[in-house]
Structure 1
């Protein structure tokens, strides 16, 4: 995804005269950021460093002046962006490539530095960098062509602290003559993986090098290639407001006197076969963490130091409970949530978190009591509706589960958890549920594995 991304603009060559011709001679400026090591994440994003390096090298070969940064903190990212803006000349082609974690908040996409401290949604705008703002600044500085290549559609530990499941990225507000490419669809996340290179980058690099096709056609071919290779599980999102013809590769030149041939054929859109009925196989749930792994976790260690220094530090206990629950250390999470609720018995968020934790461990009656109290305190808490939907689903109360999930979806239509749960509840009650399940999987490819960890599968007797 990433390397090709930059390539994308790196080799922008104008096909026509006039304004296009002037753009071809303009300065080409690029900022490449690859954030692979987030202390809050359980593993290093192993493909990020390789892809960012590939992108930077391609852009340099294509004539871009590239500033390449890796594992940048908030301060370093702010300085890099300021330097990037300062180098933009009027009429220039300006490109930013970001690979790492992104998050959606208030209908904007924020790019996160490695030291982001995100525990609640307001923290996103404080520590993240708005893609809309970056594009607007590129435009204000006089860039004739604005390009943003964003490979940040991963499920991450930050959103799970204040939303049940990742909501992916939001659409960008695109200035005139801009091109924005995401590695996955809006509101969707890509399947988790630890590969050394990304499929998206490979597809993009190949298409960017194809001569005699427009940039938009190359990106369309890239999208089709990813869609076919992943059997529609990953669908890149493209937004273009380009008014100038560009190509990522130079046109093929022919000897004088040769009869001009037709442009090279574009890659045909892949034929997607109708899905075949398959035997239901329940996915394997993620294993519980090992005690030594938890002890080495830097976030857990930092929060534990704070709790040890001040036993009344409710905020640190609550955060540590969230981290434990995300990492499936449910017994430890319960201890922290119990301590928080003893001090604040009407904390609806803490009650919801304990409800969810109890549901995951099989204490369904205790979970139901927590969720009911959370919703009595805050009837509009969508996460608590989602949690109670899971409890009712596991209790076999499918009608109640469908109602809870439906109410949660009305408040948060992009909740893959609520959609998947409603689909399963509908199926268990004798209905279809396929539409909800398919939409949930398109948003979060790992959602079935998540539910398997709660003892819920798609398999219906």
Structure 2
């Protein structure tokens, strides 16, 4: 993927060399720089496209994405509003605008929702400063974002994704949210153990993990930031089984939910030496069958990989954040819609998938009507 973006940058620069006032080439150059996460260059290219009177949606959307990548949230939100003034029904702009709004702490006049059509307005989510009515009872969550891997390149988005999901769970009334980032194996084990103890009198228990994961021999594992994984044998000693994350929510009385945004293309696989011929190393994660009453959601279907996205958050995190605060959206329906949103955002390259089952005698809402 990186090589494709670099080729796109070279092609756009060649076009600009032949025709320096070609706004479309600058807009494409901005898209390519976003893919490389070179946000300063992307911002410059997008602004040049706009200056050349290419005042269409994609130039403004690229400018908004670059500002978001640079951490300039309020400016990014204003640029998303300019984008939506051009096309109020654009799904990408609406979704990304709401994510940026949720990342800005506290209310701001600059973050007023844009005037949009009723269909787009129905997707509006709560900002962290708002509280949407949620079910009564104790609802708790453990949010983990592993970005700073020591033996492979850093994953930029998991820490940001963890922060975003934590904000949205707070918005819908979760009473306790523990956020942990860049955990070693020992720290990850400890966090899951502590959380399992905290769930004993909880109605809902939710674990959200964003980072690298791996499937070996038909079993799934979370990869801590200190893992080296030089051989397949190292998996048993350097990772944490997904089964432990599932076990950590077992004591909750009603909803037991584990969300795995851990199906990214995994650099560990290419460097691991095979020492056990019968032990397979899979692409993505393997399908699982949790105990009845539990739900495990993967950001990509078993055997597939998830995308990190071109902006400050992954497509899965954006879709999940957008849907969490929708009043009256039952949890099974919620994840169906998250799947549809991600399929649309990724051009059907990524399909989230839910495993397990919940009792049909009760409905579960993150936010009630």
Query: Which bracket does the TM-score occupy, shorter chain normalised?
Result: 0.5 to 0.7
Shift of 1:156: 1.7
Residue 148 of structure 2 is aligned to residue 41 of structure 1: no
Shift of 1:13: 7.7
For 1:391, the equivalent position in structure 2 comes to: none
Q: 5 Å matches for 1:164-313?
A: 167-191=283-307, 195-243=311-359, 244-251=362-369
Q: How far apart in 2 are the matches of 1:247 and 1:66?
A: 17
Decide which of 147, 150, 153 is 2:257's aligned counterpart. 147
Do the aligned partners of residues 115 and 143 (structure 1) sit closer, same or farther apart at CA in structure 2, a change above 3 Å counting?
A: farther
Q: How far apart in 1 are the matches of 2:209 and 2:175?
A: 16
Q: How far apart in 1 are the matches of 2:202 and 2:160?
A: 31
Do the aligned partners of residues 56 and 95 (structure 1) sit closer, same or farther apart at CA in structure 2, a change above 3 Å counting?
A: same
Q: How far apart in 2 are the matches of 1:131 and 1:225?
A: 25
Q: How far apart in 1 are the matches of 2:139 and 2:337?
A: 24
CA deviation string 1:223-276 (max 9, x = no partner): 11111222211111112411131122221xxxxxxxxxxxxxxxxxxxxxxxxx
CA contact 1:166–1:189 (8 Å) conserved in 2: no
Q: How far apart in 1 are the matches of 2:206 and 2:162?
A: 13
Gaps of 5+ in 2: 1-94, 100-124, 275-280
Task: Report SS of the residue matched to 1:150.
Answer: strand
Task: Report SS of the residue matched to 1:147.
Answer: strand
Gaps of 5+ in 1: 15-23, 252-461
- Asked which structure has the greater CA Rg, the reply is 1
For 1:55, the equivalent position in structure 2 comes to: 165
Shift of 1:142: 4.7
TM-score, reference length from structure 2 = 0.58
CA contact 1:41–1:156 (8 Å) conserved in 2: no
Q: How far apart in 2 are the matches of 1:187 and 1:168?
A: 5
Q: How far apart in 1 are the matches of 2:289 and 2:236?
A: 16
Shift of 1:100: 0.5
Q: 5 Å matches for 1:13-24?
A: 24=135
CA deviation string 1:199-220 (max 9, x = no partner): 2222222222222231111111
For 1:418, the equivalent position in structure 2 comes to: none
Q: How far apart in 1 are the matches of 2:318 and 2:215?
A: 26
CA contact 2:205–2:252 (8 Å) conserved in 1: no
Residue 199 of structure 2 is aligned to residue 83 of structure 1: no
Report how many aligned residue pairs link the two structures: 236
Do the aligned partners of residues 26 and 86 (structure 1) sit closer, same or farther apart at CA in structure 2, a change above 3 Å counting?
A: same
CA RMSD of aligned residues (A): 2.9
Task: Report SS of the residue matched to 1:56.
Answer: helix
Do the aligned partners of residues 95 and 192 (structure 1) sit closer, same or farther apart at CA in structure 2, a change above 3 Å counting?
A: closer
Decide which of 102, 105, 121 is 2:213's aligned counterpart. 102
CA contact 1:13–1:247 (8 Å) conserved in 2: no
TM-score, reference length from structure 1 = 0.47
Do the aligned partners of residues 46 and 137 (structure 1) sit closer, same or farther apart at CA in structure 2, a change above 3 Å counting?
A: closer
